Structure 1
Amino acid sequence: MSLNGVRSNFPIVAPADPTTVPPAPVRVLLIDDDKLVSDFIRKIFSRFAPETLVEAFTDSREGLDRAKAGDFDVVVTDLMMPQVTGLDIMRELHEAKPKLPVILMTGYGNPDVAMEAGKLGVHEFLNKPFTPEQLIDAVESAAEIHRLAAEPVALESGPKAGRALVGNSEVMKNLSVQIGKVAASTVPVLIHGPTGSGKELVARALYQYSDRASRPFLLVSCTAVSEAHLDTELFGQEAGEAGSRGRAGRFEQAQGGTIFLDEIADMPPLIQAKMVRVLQDQHIRRAGGNEPVPVDVRVIASTAADLEKAVREGRFREDLFFRLRGVKIEVPPLSARMDDIPLLVEDFIARHAGRIGFPKTTAAPDALAALQDMEWPGNVRQLENMVCELILLARGLTINRSHVETARGLSAPEPLGEGRFASVVAQALRRAQSGEIPAALPVLMDLVEKEIYGQAYALTKGNRSRMSRLLGVSRPTVLDKIAQHGLGSANKE
């Protein structure tokens, strides 16, 4: 690894998954009858999200027809247009493509229009003028929701399965049977399992095999958000007297469909109390409002935490816990299904090798045996990241045991704790003292920065805007650091 022109072989932990294959470019359909505005928005994407594919229309009817016929992740449309308005577009897409997120842009503060759009499932209302960050954030959030709802999940692997719950082990067979039995029900489901085990895939399979598969599927993360933000996100905001625009929350937007509450153990106490009422009475109240709004939404929640312990310690409401676990599904760690590793590796190669650039990659039996001998604290997600790295190391040839040993050396499993970091610093100082490297500080700073950005990339799945907020730096800085440290496909930007 070359750092600031200096060769470094420190045994420092590599970024959590620097070889993670980034998602396919987001496909945006832009509809605005004002060509100046349309061109300005396209320039925003060109500068701040150059990987985004934007197709623009100034004729709203043509834009609507293209939205119906094309394959897009997000529609961004103006509200007030001749011929076909933004609400007209929403109404037609609500029927034709209910899973396709729509972002409405408007300079008019009409709360009735906002509520109507909310009932039709608008993903976001952008008030003109908006900042580039607001636009990019809204589009990235909408694209992630579309991916979750649209990407198929199969209960067995196959050439047309998309993402699959892969495995022939007894625990995976039992998991698939349980999903099949529970999917058609409307009762809440609590999915429990360690980080990286595939809880999101289970939630999506439950949705896609249910009678609600044609309706929306919305994910809301309960982690690292304020109580007020999560309140508005879930339940919406009533129009205020000071001119603040009302908005529908995710429960209203998911009407008739499914909402997936990720890491529900982190949900703030006030929101827990509101969730009890939602599950009990099947209605919500918007923030700042008093009128109940009926909702018909199936709730699926996930957690890696011990909720029973959280209940005993008073950190999680007992009544919410029992209402959520109408059915509880346990997702096994990879250590409980090591026999599935060959099938998982085959599946990951099939999905990633072509995108990485080596479509003919295969894995030798000795490589599979070596992978089965390893420990996997990060579970299936860690294995997937390792396979991506092995594809790069093999460069189109057969992955063998030596590739696995090399990859293991590049990705030390232990965390960068205080003692380990002290050891790395000591090595750097010794090497600088002996003249092996010019100076210790630049090398160490680069290593630490790469670790920080690598873990942020892994945590946010490469979402640049979320990385910017998480790290407290600008989005251009995030783009520069992704390119500098070789995370994902930064070079194509």
Structure 2
Amino acid sequence: MTPSASILVVDDDADLLRLMTMRLTAAGHTVQAVASAEAALAHLAVKLPSLLITDVRLPGLDGMALFDEVRARHASLPVILLTAHGSIPDAVDATARGAHAYLTKPFDGQELMAKIHRALMVNAPGPARFDGDGAWRREIVSRSPRMAEVLAEARLVAGTDASVLISGDSGTGKELLARALHNASPRAARPFVAVNCAAIPEALLESELFGHVKGAFTGAQGHRQGLIPAAHGGTVFLDEIGDMPPSLQVKLLRVLQERVVRPVGSNEPVAVDVRVLSATHRDLELAMAEGQFRPDLFYRLNVVKLRLPPLSERREDVALLAQHFLQLLAERHRKPVKGFAPEALEALVTAPWPGNVRQLYNVVEQVCVLATGTLVPLAQVQRALQMPAADVLSYQHAKQRFERDYLNQLLTLTSGHVAEAARLADRNRTEFYRLMQKHGLDPQRYRTDPLATASDFSDTKRSDESST
């Protein structure tokens, strides 16, 4: 289903503007229609739409100049170009420079809606939406319905002291959700202490969590406060709790039950007031069945369970996150890059992402560091994803593909009338027949098809002159 969006349409043909506005509004979009590039730039200065659709031939500042202005000011804004036959080379050139797509007039209404759908699905149409008090989760960039459900549940439990177990694959952002829970809680002004149980050697983990006294073990030259006492009054986040050694699981259970810790080497308990959030990528119920995790500790930690979906289940967020990361990293690395080429963004959206958001961040950082222009090209994204560049054609192959597509469009438009197609292409019939033979095109195949005009746009003018 195509997401609803705000669309700016630019064309000096009043009939076409009216019909496109009716069609797009019926599809649930908000449409602003203007007749000149100057008016479009004025609207863009006030509010950025989700998508720009513009004719190439416009009075005054033309559509190509408008496209260049948009690329310079709003590199991530998707642009669809409307073009007459005479301006197809301009449109092809603009597509190579980052335009999302182009349509040749007169065009099919269903084809237009398909290109709009594709543009909106792979391009981030705007910033993430926050509720009225969204500061608590501002680090979590998302417009996914799946994430919205998780965040709604998190907001409900944030105000309590209930223990929360966050599950999800590695790289999904479990610590970010834990921080958001802390920020939305009454403990927000107190410390948030994160501990990665898998990253600390087993011999040191007890001392890190609970602290130790001088002489407790070789090398203990002084007293040390543990991470759990350091979170007093606030929140302690135990990441990868499933990797905690069994010997420490029973001691952590005692902390949760008695609200005291005993530093290593000391018999004096230290009272602690902490809320415990934990996270794991492991199946703890399976670990319990295998005797690797204590059931009593599991039930203490799992008062409320929140599951973060993998990035493959929230693809609506890929473009939004990629653009967000690119903006941050471009500033950090002092690079001029502002956005992704449409095909590069589509490659990101359709990638499998086994490493989830963490992998996406690393990919964006790599392309940002290597970027030389304002737009990240497809080849750079493919290299960062280690994808084969199957869609990157040589210049000669790309030229042949365009030539065949162009001839196919002309023959479809003229229902196979070669003389008319040759006239539109500004070529003589002999040369046109030679081109058809080169690409194996038979004009007879097109003569059973009606002129390719859309029923939705039947009132638009048919000639190049009236549509430009």
Q: TM-score, normalised by structure 1?
A: 0.49
CA drift of 1:155 comes to: 6.1
Q: Which residue of structure 2 aligns with residue 299 of structure 1?
A: 276
Contact 2:318 2:349 (8 Å CA) reproduced: yes
Evaluate the alpha carbon distance shift between residue 278 and residue 379 of structure 1 in structure 2; reply closer, same or farther with a 3 A threshold.
Answer: same
Of 243, 246, 271 in structure 2, the residue corresponding to residue 269 of structure 1 is 246
Q: Which residue of structure 1 aligns with residue 140 of structure 2?
A: 165
Evaluate the alpha carbon distance shift between residue 346 and residue 203 of structure 1 in structure 2; reply closer, same or farther with a 3 A threshold.
Answer: same
Instruction: For structure 2, list consecutive stretches of 5 or more residues without a partner in the other structure.
Output: 1-127, 390-468
Q: Which residue of structure 2 aligns with residue 73 of structure 1?
A: none
Contact 1:156 1:165 (8 Å CA) reproduced: no
Evaluate the alpha carbon distance shift between residue 241 and residue 402 of structure 1 in structure 2; reply closer, same or farther with a 3 A threshold.
Answer: closer
**CA distance in structure 2 between the aligned counterparts of 1:367 and 1:182, rounded to whole angstroms:** 39
Contact 1:276 1:320 (8 Å CA) reproduced: yes
1:382 aligns with 2:362: no
Contact 2:165 2:306 (8 Å CA) reproduced: yes
Amino acid at match of 2:385: R
CA drift of 1:404 comes to: 2.1
Query: Could you tell me the percent identity over the aligned residues?
Result: 45
Q: Which moved more, 1:325-334 or 1:246-255?
A: 246-255
Q: Which residue of structure 2 aligns with residue 236 of structure 1?
A: 211
**CA distance in structure 2 between the aligned counterparts of 1:186 and 1:289, rounded to whole angstroms:** 28
CA drift of 1:297 comes to: 0.5
Instruction: For structure 1, list consecutive stretches of 5 or more residues without a partner in the other structure.
Output: 1-152, 413-493
Q: Which residue of structure 1 aligns with residue 419 of structure 2?
A: none
Q: Which residue of structure 1 aligns with residue 202 of structure 2?
A: 227
Contact 2:337 2:371 (8 Å CA) reproduced: no
Amino acid at match of 1:190: L
SS in 1 for 2:166: strand
SS in 2 for 1:164: coil
Amino acid at match of 2:147: M
**CA distance in structure 2 between the aligned counterparts of 1:208 and 1:331, rounded to whole angstroms:** 18
Of 147, 151, 154 in structure 2, the residue corresponding to residue 176 of structure 1 is 151
**CA distance in structure 2 between the aligned counterparts of 1:249 and 1:195, rounded to whole angstroms:** 26
Q: Which residue of structure 1 aligns with residue 437 of structure 2?
A: none
Q: Which residue of structure 2 aligns with residue 358 of structure 1?
A: 335
CA drift of 1:160 comes to: 8.9
Which whole-Å deviations, capped at 9, do the CAs of 1:78-117 have from their partners, x for residues lacking one?
xxxxxxxxxxxxxxxxxxxxxxxxxxxxxxxxxxxxxxxx
SS in 2 for 1:191: strand
Contact 2:136 2:181 (8 Å CA) reproduced: no
Which whole-Å deviations, capped at 9, do the CAs of 1:240-268 have from their partners, x for residues lacking one?
48994332211211110111111111111
Q: Which residue of structure 2 aligns with residue 249 of structure 1?
A: 226
**CA distance in structure 1 between the aligned counterparts of 2:297 and 2:226, rounded to whole angstroms:** 20
CA drift of 1:156 comes to: 7.7
Amino acid at match of 1:341: V
Which whole-Å deviations, capped at 9, do the CAs of 1:301-327 have from their partners, x for residues lacking one?
111111111011000111001100111
Q: Which residue of structure 1 aligns with residue 300 of structure 2?
A: 323
Contact 1:222 1:230 (8 Å CA) reproduced: yes
**CA distance in structure 2 between the aligned counterparts of 1:406 and 1:253, rounded to whole angstroms:** 44
CA drift of 1:163 comes to: 6.0
CA drift of 1:164 comes to: 2.1
1:344 aligns with 2:309: no
Amino acid at match of 2:272: V
Evaluate the alpha carbon distance shift between residue 245 and residue 350 of structure 1 in structure 2; reply closer, same or farther with a 3 A threshold.
Answer: same
1:201 aligns with 2:176: yes
SS in 1 for 2:276: strand
Amino acid at match of 1:217: F
How many positions carry a matched residue from both structures? Answer: 260
SS in 2 for 1:300: strand
1:397 aligns with 2:394: no
Contact 2:197 2:205 (8 Å CA) reproduced: yes
Contact 1:196 1:378 (8 Å CA) reproduced: yes
Contact 2:137 2:180 (8 Å CA) reproduced: no
1:218 aligns with 2:213: no
Contact 2:129 2:143 (8 Å CA) reproduced: no
Evaluate the alpha carbon distance shift between residue 346 and residue 224 of structure 1 in structure 2; reply closer, same or farther with a 3 A threshold.
Answer: closer
Q: Which residue of structure 2 aligns with residue 314 of structure 1?
A: 291
Which whole-Å deviations, capped at 9, do the CAs of 1:314-348 have from their partners, x for residues lacking one?
00111001100111110110010112111111211
Contact 2:167 2:280 (8 Å CA) reproduced: yes
Evaluate the alpha carbon distance shift between residue 303 and residue 235 of structure 1 in structure 2; reply closer, same or farther with a 3 A threshold.
Answer: same
Contact 1:234 1:251 (8 Å CA) reproduced: yes
Q: Which residue of structure 1 aligns with residue 167 of structure 2?
A: 192
Q: Which residue of structure 1 aligns with residue 21 of structure 2?
A: none
Contact 1:285 1:291 (8 Å CA) reproduced: yes
Q: Which residue of structure 2 aligns with residue 463 of structure 1?
A: none
Q: Which moved more, 1:304-313 or 1:162-171?
A: 162-171
Q: TM-score, normalised by structure 2?
A: 0.51
Amino acid at match of 2:341: A
CA drift of 1:205 comes to: 0.8
Q: Which residue of structure 2 aligns with residue 409 of structure 1?
A: 386
Q: Which residue of structure 1 aligns with residue 23 of structure 2?
A: none
CA drift of 1:359 comes to: 4.3
**CA distance in structure 2 between the aligned counterparts of 1:186 and 1:409, rounded to whole angstroms:** 45
Q: Which residue of structure 2 aligns with residue 368 of structure 1?
A: 345
Evaluate the alpha carbon distance shift between residue 411 and residue 189 of structure 1 in structure 2; reply closer, same or farther with a 3 A threshold.
Answer: farther
Contact 2:260 2:272 (8 Å CA) reproduced: yes
CA drift of 1:181 comes to: 1.1
CA drift of 1:208 comes to: 1.3
